[in-house]
Amino acid sequence: MSAPVDPLDVPADPPGPFQPRSGQRGSGFLTGPLRRGTTPSATVGPYLAIGLTWADGEWAAAEGTEGGFWIRGRVLDGNGDVVPDAMVETWQADPDGRFPSPEDPRGAAAYPGFRGYARSQTLTGEFAVFTLKPGRVPDGEGGLQAPHVDVSVFARGLLDRVVTRIYFADEESANAEDAVLRTVPGDRRPTLLATPAPDGYRFDVRLQGESETVFFAV
């Protein structure tokens, strides 16, 4: 039997400084890159019409612009029911494949009558956007992307936007060589194709289900 240990007889600390597990006494705040955490998204909720209604929302191109047409479609939930409180936003290149944005390293373009951006709520059961056929845009791999429109969908029941792309069913040869479409399994590509309609194109967004639209992580 050894003598009981005295719990108050604490040995002296070693002579050198302690080190945290990282081996560095400090957070690295001054040596790492400056980084702020991003603000988390939240649902747009059922009352988006209060804050996000614009009289000219649907017009990515001004009324009467030559070559203009409508893209119309529904947003459908997992039961196949129409979502009447969603908002669809679109952003795209002009017919020359340029953007009215200073962030385009080729310079901001100013195509007559063209804003490039539209937003439309689905109150009637459909969204509707008046626009022009986008031109082809470099894909960064030496080729050109097929004409496409970037789409964001917001709704009650979506805690963040979902992002998809509209391609055009009548651009078969361009679609066949598009770098983004090629990353999408063949059987799901039709969910990204707008089909010709009397005053433009139709494009439905299926949030869930067998033919769930292909959504993109951006």
Partner 1 sequence: MTRSTSDGGLTLPRYLVEDPSQRTPLAFPDYRSTALRAPLREPVDLPHRLTEVTGPVLGEDRVLPHDADLTWRNGGEAVGQRVLVHGRVLDSDGRAVPHALVEVWQANAAGRYRHVVDQWPAPLDPHFDGLGRVVTDDLGRYEFLTIKPGAYPWGNHHNAWRPAHIHFSLFGRAFTQRLVTQMYFPDDPLFGQDPIYNAIPPAARHRAVSRFSLERTQDNWALAYEWDIVLRGVDQTPFEALSEGADDGDVA
- Within 97-156, which residues bind partner 1 (CB under 8 A)? 99-106, 108, 115-117, 137-140, 142, 145, 148, 150, 152, 154-156
Cβ neighbors of 22 (< 8 A, separation 6 or more) are: 28
Does 171 bind partner 1 (CB under 8 A)? Our answer is no
Q: How far is CA 43 from CA 20, 31, 36, 156, 198, in A?
A: 41, 36, 22, 6, 34
Q: Taking CB under 8 A as the rule, does residue 189 contact partner 1?
A: no
Which residues in 68-107 contact partner 1 (CB under 8 A)? 77-79, 81, 83, 85, 89, 91-93, 99-106
Residue 186 touches partner 1, criterion: CB under 8 A: no
For residue 12, the minimal CB distance to partner 1 (Å) is 39
Determine the interface stretch with partner 1 among 6-14, 16-24, 33-41, 124-132 (rule: CB under 8 A): 33-41
Q: Token pair of 75, please?
A: 């947003």
Q: Which of 135, 184, 197, 204 binds partner 1 (CB under 8 A)?
A: 184
Residue from 23, 26, 33, 112 touching partner 1 (CB under 8 A): that is 33
Mention every residue, 6+ apart, whose C-beta is less than 8 A from residue 162: 152, 153, 207, 215
Which residues make Cβ contacts (< 8 Å) with residue 213, sequence separation at least 6? 164, 191, 192, 204, 205, 206, 207
CA distance 145 to 99: 14
Least distance to partner 1, CB of residue 95, Å = 14
Residue 25 engages partner 1 in binding (rule: CB under 8 A): no
